[in-house]
A and B are shown apart, each in its own frame.
Chain A
Amino acid sequence: MTEMPPRVAQRLLVLLCRGEVGRDVAADLAEEFADVARRHGIRAARQWYRRQVVRSIRDRTFAAAARVVGVSLRAGVRGPAVAVRLARAGRDIGPAIRSLRRAPWYSATVIAVVALALALATTVFAVVDGVLFKPLPYADADELVAVELGFFRDNVYSGRVLPEDIDVWQAALPDVPMSSVRVLETTGFERVNEPDLGAAYVRPNLFEVLGVQPLLGGFSQEDLELLEAVRPPVRPALVTYEFWQSRLGGEVAVIGTEIEPENPSYTPIRVAGVLPPGFTIPAKHDAQFVMAGGGHARAIRDTTVLARLPSGVSPEVFRERLESVLARAAEVKDERGGNKPDRALVRPLDDALEGRLGPVFRGLFAAAGLLALIACLNVSGLMTARCFDRARDIGLRRAIGARATDVIRLLLVEHGLLFAAGAGLGLAASGPLLRFMVGILPTDLHLLKSPEIDARVIVFVTLAMIASLFLASVWPVRRALRSGLQQVITAGGGGAVTPRTAGFASRSITMGQVAGAVVLVVAGGLLVGSLLRVHANEMGYDADRVVIAELGVAIWLDDEALSGNWDAIRVRTRERLASFLEDLRALPDVEAAGAADVDVLVGSLTYSSRFDPVGRDASAEHGLRPESLMVGASGGLNIPVTPGFFEAARVKVIAGRLPTDEELRIGAPVVAVSRSFARRNFEGQRAVGQFVVHKPARPNLPPFEIVGVVEDQRIARWDAPAMSTVFTPYARFGGAIDPVAFVRGVRGGRPLADAVLRFADRERPTLRPVRVQTAAAMLGDSIPVRRLQSWLFGAFAVSGLVLAGVGLFGLVAMTMARRTREVGIRMALGATRDRLVAGLVREQLTPVLLGLVAGVVLAAVLVRFLESYLYELSVYDARVWGAAMTMVVATAVMGALIPSWRASQVDPIRALRVD
């Protein structure tokens, strides 16, 4: 049977080498394949064929590219001087490619370093540009300002703005259009595990002030009147384009129709219109619905008041005019007796909306810049080292008449090709990287401008690439220009007379890389260290194999008579939850299930009431002995829990016992308190056996006996301070807020969460799941900003370390390659391998140590900006600094040691024969 060439290679050839030449190549290779197979065997023939195909494709591609460049350059020769220079540069492309092909490791390292640095820089820039630099998506956005209003009392700022206040200011300042936005985060339209959709209550003139019009529809007069009603049966709203597309199918017919919320407690919405694509509300929180008018959001605290300044009015002038209006308005007594604002803070809208992530992103941008600088130094070092190797080649060119400009051009073309290849790869990698980064951004982060690889980012990458190309080329080019005929002769004479390193340039490059790496590793180490501290936090309960389910209860849907009758609602809620938990426990894989009335790991805290230790004054009233009571007591958070809760959450007991399921079921007057509560209130005494009372006091409610002390809980967030808590029977206090169920499974994880979700979904409409996730996932999600910082700065630290290591490795490896002959001579003269390696590594130690010192000084100044982001960690934490410096030194020593060791392994006789 005739052997066939490898099919994949054959197809690739046909696909990529087209035309007459491509067919000739394919036929020639097929003919020669049979001949090679006959002479060397089928295996060798296949290898030979594959190699031929790859090289043929490469050569055809280069030739095609050179032809395109050549055609345009030939046209340019007759054009202006720039075109003539370009034409000359174009002619250097071929030799440059051939030269780079002869140094595959050098080329690959430079391309990889450039790609890594540019991929990270591009991704960070795409996000940072979206948050910090890109203009807001409104007409003439630079004219928009945000106004914060309030008053200062005892250096404390407080502010409240009512819709009618803005009417007064607007009437006094008619030339400055003003509007306001207030976002309510929860809308009732959120599906399970979906982030808040947000509803914005705006003044009807907002769109006029922003210079934006709805894409479809708009508010009618009737809509505006309806929105002013206290409890309208339906709320007219403009929905975002994205919501319209994803939830309403992008149908024009939905305009004017009503949509029902997921949470039946909320009012339905009538779609009054659709906002234009990409429109985002100018507020710190995102909103999918926009409603005009005050509506029920009259008590405005978190309101963004914005204004469009006419030309000639600076923010400062506007502030002064506004404050004089405020002063006049403050004289009029507030009908509610509240303080009227008398101070105004006017800032560009862009600055005001940056929010809590502004400084984080500035830090990230700085870190990306530092990383790019390390990469530049790295590449510069490699290029300088390579110029030594090419001294002979360059000297030869100079000897036969090449001018300095010719050499510079050749080197720049060579470096440009490497940078272009690196930038191409980096840009290709930045797409997936950006998707990953957007994925780890906090879900509640309101990005006013979408992060994407757009024309702005491409321009940035191109400019950054050109700048780094020139920066990285300065030293190598200077080095190369020193090459003359002397090098042609001396380079042939042996490496012993070649300078050991590139001298000052090489040492500076090593120093710079080490210093940059120290700054990145210390910053990354501090933030990752903080995250680890948070991870080590004692939660006070066991999150392993636990699923947490936030539930929404709307039991009055079954019974209209319940509506508004809160006591009856609470009783019915307790019964409904008890039956739900009982059914839940019957699920396979469920070990235990219980519920508590407190929001767990959602960032903020909602709770029902507080408990206080019984005060001395109240002791007689409760018939208790005064000596068992505390003075100056501090209260604890009341967490009503159902039977099964302690078993599911595995709350850790420190003293006494937990209330039993039976006590919890019947509502016995017993409680368990947390360690903080016990310490604060019963310092030096045994807390078990003491009594606490509910606050606010309710008639007929007895004091509750403390039967046990449990470990402190971290309730709102993983990094929240430990709370002072009191666990009470759900049968007495439960049903006031929506409960959270704790479900412990045999195995836990995502399957258990899915099973709980499916089960809870069947309980609609009187009970519905709001968020069902594993406790581990919720722990992570409760610290989104901290996690984001740690991941990103950690990644930068690792990249900085890798780049510094690779840079030093490359530099030393290339230096060693030049010094093979010298190494041979030393060994021939009796130097041992160990001493040789030690000597070679020692040569690199001075710049490494100097870099370390410079890095430590720089980092000591810069890390102070991180102070507010650290968790129970000092910016000068000795362990983090020690570990960071050890890592940098170890990486640098490894980078120098490996090539030195390899150099010492050569046979002295062979080394001496090196030309």
Chain B
Amino acid sequence: MSSQIGVFELLVLMGVSSARKNAYGVSIRQAVEASRGRDVSSGAVHTTLERLARRGFVASRVGEATPARGGRPRRYYTLTRAGELAMRNNYRAVQHLAGRLAGKVLS
């Protein structure tokens, strides 16, 4: 399976990773929003999480239900081994590309 992911998917994976045990929709969205510096929709985050889960990069479990959520339980996400690998590889690729471009432009 290809481990290539898009920039937004990378940010979501990083969001899951940074929230550790409290990684659910709201916290991941806030983490992605903080790293991007602009609004991110909950729909985009959940769609991406669904896609990442399908590709085996994240796993989910159902947590506790709260009245604030209208009685619906939270869904917590964790990175799988494949997800962690994909996140690292893609992060390195981005760093490498940015370095190369910066060199080209400045020269």
8 Å CB contacts to A: which residues of B27-49?
Answer: 29, 39, 41-44, 46-47
B43 and A55 contact, CB distance less than 8 A: yes
Measured CA separation A52–B29 after assembly (Å): 11
The contact size tier of chain B is 20 to 34
Stretch from A19-27, A456-464, A657-665, A809-817 at the B interface: A19-27
Measured CA separation A55–B68 after assembly (Å): 22
Stretch from B13-21, B69-77, B78-86, B87-95 at the A interface: B69-77
B41 and A488 contact, CB distance less than 8 A: no
Contacts of B66 in A (CB 8 A): 31
Residue with the highest number of chain A CB atoms closer than 10 Å, among B25, B41, B101, B104: B41
B26 and A28 contact, CB distance less than 8 A: yes
Within 8 Å by CB of B39, from A55, A399, A400, lies A55
A25 and B69 contact, CB distance less than 8 A: no
Given contacts A25-B46, A31-B26, A488-B105, contact A52 B41 (CB under 8 A): yes
Within 8 Å by CB of B41, from A24, A59, A489, lies A59
Q: Which residues of B line the A interface, CB within 8 A?
A: 24-26, 29, 39, 41-44, 46-47, 50-51, 66, 68-70, 72, 74-75, 97, 101, 104-105
B101 and A21 contact, CB distance less than 8 A: no
Contacts of B75 in A (CB 8 A): 24
B101 and A400 contact, CB distance less than 8 A: yes
A572 within 8 A of B: no
Measured CA separation A21–B68 after assembly (Å): 18
Given contacts A51-B39, A489-B105, contact A32 B44 (CB under 8 A): no
A31 and B42 contact, CB distance less than 8 A: no
8 Å CB contacts to B: which residues of A6-53?
Answer: 17, 20-21, 23-32, 34, 51-52
A109 within 8 A of B: no
13 contacts between A and B (CB under 8 A): A27-B25, A27-B69, A27-B74, A31-B68, A32-B29, A52-B41, A52-B42, A55-B43, A56-B41, A56-B43, A56-B44, A59-B41, A59-B47
Chain A's closest residue to B69 (CB) is A27
A60 within 8 A of B: yes
Measured CA separation A58–B70 after assembly (Å): 23
Contacts of B41 in A (CB 8 A): 52, 55-56, 58-59
Please list the 8 inter-chain residue pairs (A to B) with the smallest Cβ-Cβ separation, ordered nearest first. Answer: A56-B43, A55-B41, A28-B25, A27-B72, A59-B44, A27-B69, A59-B43, A63-B47
B29 and A28 contact, CB distance less than 8 A: yes
Contacts of B51 in A (CB 8 A): 63
A23 and B72 contact, CB distance less than 8 A: yes
Contacts of B43 in A (CB 8 A): 17, 21, 25, 52, 55-60
Within 8 Å by CB of B25, from A17, A24, A396, A489, lies A24
Within 8 Å by CB of A29, from B24, B39, B42, B104, lies B42
B69 and A31 contact, CB distance less than 8 A: yes
A21 and B69 contact, CB distance less than 8 A: no
- Give the Cβ gap from B83 to chain A, nearest Cβ, in Å: 18
Chain B's closest residue to A485 (CB) is B104
Measured CA separation A336–B59 after assembly (Å): 101
Given contacts A25-B42, A27-B72, A399-B104, contact A32 B47 (CB under 8 A): no
Contacts of A25 in B (CB 8 A): 25, 42-43, 46
8 Å CB contacts to B: which residues of A43-82?
Answer: 51-52, 55-60, 63
Given contacts A30-B68, A30-B69, A31-B68, contact A55 B25 (CB under 8 A): no
Measured CA separation A338–B41 after assembly (Å): 87
- Give the Cβ gap from A97 to chain B, nearest Cβ, in Å: 12
Contacts of B70 in A (CB 8 A): 26-27, 30
Contacts of A26 in B (CB 8 A): 70, 72
Contacts of A400 in B (CB 8 A): 97, 101
Contacts of A57 in B (CB 8 A): 43
Contacts of A31 in B (CB 8 A): 26, 66, 68-69
Contacts of A21 in B (CB 8 A): 43, 46-47, 50
- Give the Cβ gap from A200 to chain B, nearest Cβ, in Å: 62
- Give the Cβ gap from A393 to chain B, nearest Cβ, in Å: 13
Measured CA separation A29–B44 after assembly (Å): 13
Measured CA separation A28–B43 after assembly (Å): 10
Contacts of A52 in B (CB 8 A): 41-43
Chain A's closest residue to B43 (CB) is A56
- Give the Cβ gap from A500 to chain B, nearest Cβ, in Å: 25
Residue with the highest number of chain A CB atoms closer than 10 Å, among B43, B70, B75, B101: B43
Within 8 Å by CB of A56, from B42, B68, B69, lies B42
